[in-house]
């Protein structure tokens, strides 16, 4: 079993496409679109700390949404905020970005919209979301749970699952498959580097790039 830190370092050398191909090969849900970095082109990889939101209903005032998850997270974590893909209200903002950054959190993936993009950019905190909107969560959203399985788009995320996000999309690796998926994804990356080298050396595209070879079902040459 690879240590958590080393595991994250290995995954950080891969992109979402290679990991998605590995998930596909194992019959696991592949990567998904719609989650884009709201500034720059960061890549994040870490273990999920989950937050489930729901529409606001009047009641006693509590802590701000996601605040308890941020407090519990550390330098190996990515915050995953489940808000059913809503883009009419922000589910992540500047003070949450600041608090998470100060805790060493690697970034956030939100199935919804965010605000205060400039604040996240100024502190180099990666935020992946479905959109941006100034509208506050106050009076519109509340936290249902944290530390429970949540739905991120089409994929269920359990706390501790590995989440990788880059400018292409987001992949979620179930925690009991992280080593197997890593090995497969590294194989995908090696094959694609070999094909790229052949193309640069003048090999015709149809000769170098074959589905069976990309899938790893034939010997490399």
Tens of pLDDT, residues 80-99: 999 999 999 999 999 999 99
pLDDT at residue 69, rounded to an integer: 96
Q: Nearest-CA neighbor of 158 among 169, 168, 167, 145? A: 145
pLDDT at residue 221, rounded to an integer: 42
pLDDT at residue 42, rounded to an integer: 95
Q: Which two tokens stand for residue 111?
A: 């199935």
Q: Nearest-CA neighbor of 163 among 2, 11, 37, 6? A: 11
For residue range 99-123, what is the model confidence (pLDDT) as tens digits? 999 999 999 999 999 999 999 999 9
4-175: CATH homologous superfamily?
Ribonuclease E inhibitor RraA/RraA-like (3.50.30.40)
Q: Are 15 and 42 in contact (CB under 8 A)?
A: no
Q: What is the pTM of this model?
A: 0.91
Query: In the structure, what pLDDT confidence band is assigned to residue 203 with cuts at 50, 70 and 90?
Result: confident
Rounded CA-CA distance 70/98 in Å is 10
Q: Nearest-CA neighbor of 4 among 66, 97, 83, 74? A: 74
For strand 155-157 and strand 44-55, is the pairing parallel, antiparallel, or unpaired? unpaired
Rounded CA-CA distance 122/167 in Å is 19
Q: Please, which residues have CB within 8 angstroms of residue 203's CB and are 6 or more apart in sequence?
A: none
Angle in degrees, CA 146, 151, 157, rounded to 5:
70
For residue range 9-19, what is the model confidence (pLDDT) as tens digits? 999 999 999 99
Residue 85, judged by CB atoms within 10 A of its CB (0-12, 13-18, 19+), counts as middle
Q: Residue 49: pLDDT above 50? A: yes
Rounded CA-CA distance 221/218 in Å is 9
Q: Among 2-16, 22-36, 193-207, which stretch is predicted with the lowest mean pLDDT?
A: 193-207
């Amino acid at each position: 079993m690879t240590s958590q830190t080393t595991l994250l370092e290995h995954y950080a050398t891969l992109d979402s496409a290679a990991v998605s191909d590995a998930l596909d090969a194992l019959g696991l849900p592949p990567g998904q679109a719609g989650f884009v970095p709201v500034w720059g082109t960061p890549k994040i990889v870490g273990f999920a700390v989950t937050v489930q939101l729901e529409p606001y209903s009047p009641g006693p005032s509590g802590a701000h949404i996601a605040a308890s998850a941020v407090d519990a997270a550390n330098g190996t974590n990515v915050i995953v905020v489940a808000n059913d893909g809503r883009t009419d209200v922000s589910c992540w903002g500047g003070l949450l970005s600041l608090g998470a950054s100060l805790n060493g959190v690697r970034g956030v993936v939100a199935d919804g919209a965010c605000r205060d993009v400039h604040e996240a950019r100024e502190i180099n905190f990666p935020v992946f979301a479905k959109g941006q909107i100034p509208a506050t969560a106050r009076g519109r959203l509340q936290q249902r749970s944290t530390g429970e399985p949540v739905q991120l788009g089409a994929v269920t995320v359990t706390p501790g699952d590995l989440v990788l996000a880059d400018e292409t999309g987001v992949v979620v690796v179930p925690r009991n498959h992280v080593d197997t998926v890593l090995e497969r994804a590294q194989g995908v990356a090696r094959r694609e580097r070999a094909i790229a080298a052949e193309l640069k050396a003048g090999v015709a595209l149809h000769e170098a790039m074959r589905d069976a070879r990309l899938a790893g079902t034939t010997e490399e040459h």
